[in-house]
Amino acid sequence: MSYYKRHIFFCLNERDKGEDSCAPQGAHAGFDHCKKRIKGEQLAGPGGVRVNKAGCLDRCAGGPVAVVYPEAVWYTFVDKSDIDEIVDSHLKNGQVVERLLLPPNVGR
């Protein structure tokens, strides 16, 4: 059994020279909101959900991005309501949010 039931990583990377990256597209706000929701729902900690910052996840063109493990589901998001849907559907109940999936061909 895994220490955490689910683990979500948010790319918070910012590239130089105007290259695509997640930080300028609201990644920090998404991370902060997710962490607040998980704590507020008392889902944090062993056997629950861990919300982590990550450096570049190399999917910059789809940013901002987050990935949920152990399912290895990649998401893109726009605002807090998208994060709420990921928390309520996937992190709490294991249901993938199809409309927010990052297409598999999106890379750097």
pLDDT of residue 1: 66
Q: How far is the CA of 6 from the CAs of 14, 20, 87, in angstroms?
A: 25, 28, 11
In CATH terms, is domain 6-100 a member of 3.20.20.370? Answer: no
pLDDT of residue 19: 81
Question: Which of 1-5, 29-33, 82-86, 89-93 shows the lowest per-residue confidence on average (mean pLDDT)?
Answer: 1-5
| pTM (2 d.p.) | 0.94
In the chain, how many H helices and how many E strands? 2, 4
Percent above pLDDT 90 for the chain: 84
Q: What is the pLDDT of residues 70-106, one digit of tens each?
A: 999 999 999 999 999 999 999 999 999 999 999 999 8
Q: Spell out the domain ranges in the chain.
A: 6-100
Residue type, 61: A
**What is the side-by-side strand order in the sheet with 6-11?**
49-54, 6-11, 65-69, 73-76
Q: How far is the CA of 83 from the CAs of 15, 50, 87, 90, in angstroms?
A: 23, 14, 6, 10
